[in-house]
């Protein structure tokens, strides 16, 4: 699916970057926006409730320092989300990847990750790491991520650490 860049890395405003695919707007934003608030509801439904947990039981304070990437439907709803937590100057961790259940298997997760990788490159990161839930290893493998460690448990379910090298892009 072709993507069209509209604005890139407008660091002084709440929307840091955005791209529109045929039906979904992807944008990077900060924790103090309605986009983030709506995305938390999506994360709770997709990533926590199926495990019998609530997102709101965890301390979200550190997320003030994260980059938040959302996908917005043409109707204006947040239907996809992921966040980046910087590990060091070259490595960032992709977390909380979620697509609304009614929008899964339509390429939105792939476009979310592709947009996010472009954003991370522009922020000069050269490596993305993530903790993948076992049932979605294949999703990340299709996007070029490889397992880099042994199976382990997180939030009570099996995960694998995965990673991908990305070439930094210094275009402003
Ligand atoms: C995993 C998730 C983000 C994928 O998003 P999506 O929009 O459904 O995925 P896409 O339609 O973009 O799929 C892209 C490709 O990955 C494949 N894929 C999607 N989910 C997959 C899975 N669970 N296992 C293997 N392959 C998968 C698709 O078939 C597609 O393959 P293709 O390149 O041959 O067309 C989404 O299903 C989701 O939110 N799942 C629940 C939450 C979750 O588990 N998040 C991950 C936490 S680590």
pLDDT in tens, 39-66: 999 999 999 999 999 999 999 999 999 9
What is the reported pTM?
0.90
In this predicted structure, the answer to whether residue 172 has a pLDDT above a threshold of 60 is no
Residue 167: per-residue pLDDT: 85
The helix or strand, by DSSP H or E, that contains position 114, with its residue range, turns out to be helix 108-122
Of 96, 105, 171, the closest CA to residue 133 belongs to: 96
- Where do the domains of the chain lie? 4-165
What does the alpha-carbon distance between residue 121 and residue 34 come to, in Å, rounded to a whole number?
Answer: 26
Q: What CATH superfamily classification does 4-165 receive? A: Gcn5-related N-acetyltransferase (GNAT) (3.40.630.30)
What does the alpha-carbon distance between residue 134 and residue 87 come to, in Å, rounded to a whole number?
Answer: 23
Of 6, 74, 72, 73, the closest CA to residue 35 belongs to: 72
Classify strands 157-165 and 127-133 as parallel, antiparallel or unpaired.
Answer: antiparallel
Q: How far is the CA of 94 from the centre of ligand 1 (A)?
A: 15
Ligand 1 atom with minimal separation from the 96 CA: 47
Q: Which pair of structure tokens corresponds to residue 139?
A: 């999703």
Q: Would you call 9 helix, strand, or coil by DSSP?
A: coil
Ligand 1 atom with minimal separation from the 138 CA: 25
């Amino acid at each position: 699916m072709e993507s069209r860049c509209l604005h890139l890395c407008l660091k002084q405003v709440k929307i840091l970057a955005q791209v529109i695919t045929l039906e979904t707007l992807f944008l990077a934003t900060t924790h103090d926006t309605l986009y983030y608030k709506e995305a938390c509801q999506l994360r709770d439904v997709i990533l926590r409730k199926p495990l019998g947990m609530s997102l709101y039981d965890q301390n979200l304070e550190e997320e003030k320092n994260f980059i938040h990437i959302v996908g917005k439907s043409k109707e204006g709803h947040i239907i996809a989300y992921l966040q980046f937590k910087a590990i060091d100057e070259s490595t960032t961790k992709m977390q909380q990847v979620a697509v609304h259940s009614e929008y899964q298997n339509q390429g939105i997760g792939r476009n979310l990750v592709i947009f996010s990788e472009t954003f991370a490159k522009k922020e000069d990161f050269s490596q993305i790491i993530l903790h993948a839930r076992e049932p979605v290893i294949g999703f990340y493998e299709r996007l070029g991520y490889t397992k880099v460690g042994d199976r382990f448990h997180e939030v009570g379910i099996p995960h694998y650490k995965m990673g991908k090298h990305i070439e930094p892009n210094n275009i402003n």
